[in-house]
Amino acid sequence: MAIARGLLAFLLFIANTVFWCVPLYALILLRWAVPQRDWRAFHSHLLIRVAEIWSCGNNAIMRLTQRIVWDIQGLEGLRRDVWYLVIANHRSWMDIVVLERVLLGRIPFLKFFIKQSLIWMPLLGGAWWALDFPFMKRHSAAHLARHPEARDQDWISTCRACQRLRDRPAALLNFLEGTRFRVEKHLRQQSPYRHLLRPKAGGLAFALEALGDRLHVLLDVTIVYPSDHTTFLDLFIGRIQRVVVRVRQIPIPNELLGGDYRHDPVFRKAFQHWIDQIWTEKDALIEELRHDSQREVA
């Protein structure tokens, strides 16, 4: 039964994606055909509506095929007419599904930083591009040491992407760890956190620099899978039976708005200290939530 339910869930997710990509790609063609500015604003609204309906379909498929217990707290006071920076710990691509389930309809449609190479992903790559998701080239420390100009390229790319989010309220997600948590990565980094990789503050700082007059709230989302099953395969065959999510709104300090992260070492240190504090609190919260979940099972 688990295999049958998993196959059904997989096919329904594929069918839902293909179905809603048809009107979405039709709208992309209209975007090129009608260049007027007023039409472009309305066109962006239509694209987001299609994406939201697609996400609603994904949520409905999960309710139909899965028996997940959702433990969610912290959604009070969220609004769709406010710009948000969203951060979350990152275990797998399943996190995106969880964030859609938790935040859809409560804040503006969630957009997230994506590796440049994923623009070639069938169907979804073009959809992310049309929806103004920010695409980023991720460089290794060795590459940046040899090519320091790449930092400026990332800053320019982030600013361009954020400028497209100024006209209407938006929610921009950044996985500060930069990659999915793995034990070997954790050991290689010698991370000071028990459940997290070291955070990378640069992308968040660049977004604040570009949208500082719009952004005043950081939405910190903590996701815990008590069973440690985190993949799409785990989802489809029913191994993910409980998901714990905690959301908190953190005011962005005024002194961290409008600073120059690239060239001001004092500001950069203050910004990194702020992120480190948030990450320390998140690590402690994950430990607490995991302990509580294990105690409930026992």
Which residue is associated with the tokens 């995106």? 96
Q: What is the pTM of this model?
A: 0.89
For the chain, the structural domain boundaries read: 68-297
CA 82 to chain centre: 17
| Residue 20 confidence (pLDDT) | 93
Q: Is the pLDDT of residue 143 over 70?
A: no
Mean pLDDT of 150-171: 76
What's the pLDDT at 140? 60
> 240: pLDDT confidence band, cut at 50, 70 and 90?
very high
* Average pLDDT in the chain: 87
pLDDT for res 150: 65
Higher-confidence residue of 20 and 212: namely 20
Whether residue 233 is predicted with pLDDT greater than 80 in this model: the reply is yes
As a whole number of angstroms, the distance between CA 257 and CA 217 comes to: 11
- What is the arithmetic mean of pLDDT over 209-215? 82
Q: Out of 126-135, 140-149, 215-224, 245-254, pick the least confident.
A: 140-149
- Alpha carbon distance 64, 5 (integer Å): 10
Residues in the chain: 298
CATH topology of domain 68-297: Glycerol-3-phosphate (1)-acyltransferase (3.40.1130)
Q: Rounded to whole angstroms, how far apart are CA atoms 109 and 3?
A: 32
What does the alpha-carbon distance between residue 222 and residue 245 come to, in Å, rounded to a whole number? Answer: 6
Output the pLDDT for position 243. 96
pLDDT exceeds 70 at position 70: yes
Please give the pLDDT value at position 220: 97
Least confident among 39-43, 126-130, 206-210? 39-43
Residue 286 — pLDDT band, cuts 50, 70, 90? very high
Task: Give the model's pLDDT for residue 293.
Answer: 82
Quote the pLDDT of residue 139: 61
CA–CA separation, 15 vs 285, rounded Å?
A: 37
Quick count: other Cβ atoms within 10 Å of Cβ 291? 10
Q: Two tokens at 274?
A: 């702020």
User: Looking at residue 192, what is its pLDDT?
Assistant: 95
Q: How would residue 28 be classed by pLDDT, with cut points 50, 70 and 90?
A: confident
Give the Cα separation of 70 and 225 in Å (integer).
10
Q: pLDDT tens digits for 163-175?
A: 778 888 889 999 9
Mean pLDDT throughout 231-247?
Answer: 91
pLDDT in tens, 82-106: 999 999 999 998 999 999 999 999 9
Q: What is the pLDDT, as a whole number, of residue 151?
A: 66
Q: What is the pLDDT of residue 244?
A: 96
Identify which has the larger pLDDT, 194 or 162: 194
Q: For the chain, how big is the Rg over CA atoms in Å?
A: 20
Q: What's the confidence (pLDDT) of residue 262?
A: 84
